[in-house]
Amino acid sequence: MRIGVLVSGSGTNLQALLDAEASGALAGHVVVVISNKPAVGALDRAAKRNVPTAVISHRDHASREDFDRALVAALRAHAVELVVLAGFMRIVTPAFLDAFPQRVVNVHPALLPSFPGVDAQAQALAYGARVSGCTVHFVDAGVDTGPIIAQSPVPVLDDDTVDTLKARILREEHRTLVASVNAVASGRVRVEGRRVKFAP
Ligand code: GAR
């Protein structure tokens, strides 16, 4: 399956996908990486693996829908079949989702529905949660509300800072994202209402 990855930052989740592909452990091919921000680490990671990149800035578009239509055009130009939001810090609209029905997945650094939106790790610490983790889910029109594909818990330790918790969660994100993308890309996943079911 042809995979397009949308990013906004350092790109360690993208790296996990690229590493899995390089070792023959990804049920797909990363064909393009698109960032809404210039000069982010994720673009360097893609370039090092000779994956085509593009920067499409939300600032150059009058509305979210215009921005989303530009993303869709770029993804279609690479015949993308599955879209992975890997640290992509923009909310996508139906203009985007309708182009890839049940083919957009996101990784989030908390156990949804706890701590949606930005700064999920800081939210978990501020709340005093003892367990947090990550969620990979299909994207719908809400904020981190789509059907859940996989979740992995991690403990929150007494001496955690946002940075130490981020790092512990990221390690689980990398593993959980690759496994989830493989399940979706190999057609083993179907969505029934809110529930995602796996074929044996
Ligand atoms: C990851 O922790 C990802 O879950 C989070 O941004 C980070 C990106 O790291 N995404 C969100 O918070 C989306 N709401 P990366 O650029 O190293 O993959």
Known catalytic residue: 137? no
pLDDT of residue 47: 98
Residue 87 CB–ligand 1 contact under 6 Å: yes
CB 96 within 8 A of CB 118: no
Nearest Cα neighbor of 139 from 187, 93, 79 is 93
Active-site residue, from 58, 78, 108, 174: 108
Residue 108 CB–ligand 1 contact under 6 Å: yes
CB 28 within 8 A of CB 47: no
Q: Please report the atom of ligand 1 found closest to the CA of residue 134.
A: 4
pLDDT of residue 200: 78
**pLDDT (tens digit, 0 to 9) for every residue of the chain, 200 residues total?**
999 999 999 999 999 999 999 999 999 999 999 999 999 999 999 999 999 999 999 999 999 999 999 999 999 999 999 999 999 999 999 999 999 999 999 999 999 999 999 999 999 999 999 999 999 999 999 999 999 999 999 999 999 999 999 999 999 999 999 999 999 999 999 999 999 999 97
Whole-angstrom CA distances from 114 to 58, 75, 167, 189 are: 28, 31, 19, 24
Residue 107 CB–ligand 1 contact under 6 Å: yes
If you measure from the C-alpha of residue 55 to the centroid of ligand 1, how many angstroms do you get, rounded to a whole number?
Answer: 18
If you measure from the C-alpha of residue 8 to the centroid of ligand 1, how many angstroms do you get, rounded to a whole number?
Answer: 8
Locate 169 and state its tokens.
Answer: 């969660």
What's the pTM value of the predicted model, to 2 decimals?
0.98
Q: How many C-beta atoms lie closer than 10 Å to residue 195's C-beta?
A: 9
Domains and CATH numbers, the chain: 1-101 (3.40.50.170), 106-200 (3.40.50.170)
pLDDT of residue 7: 98
Q: Which residues of 164-187 are buried (b: 16+ CB within 10 A; e: fewer)?
A: ebeebbbebbbebbbbbbbbbbee
Q: How far apart are CA 196 and CA 16, in angstroms?
A: 23
Q: How many C-beta atoms lie closer than 10 Å to residue 138's C-beta?
A: 22
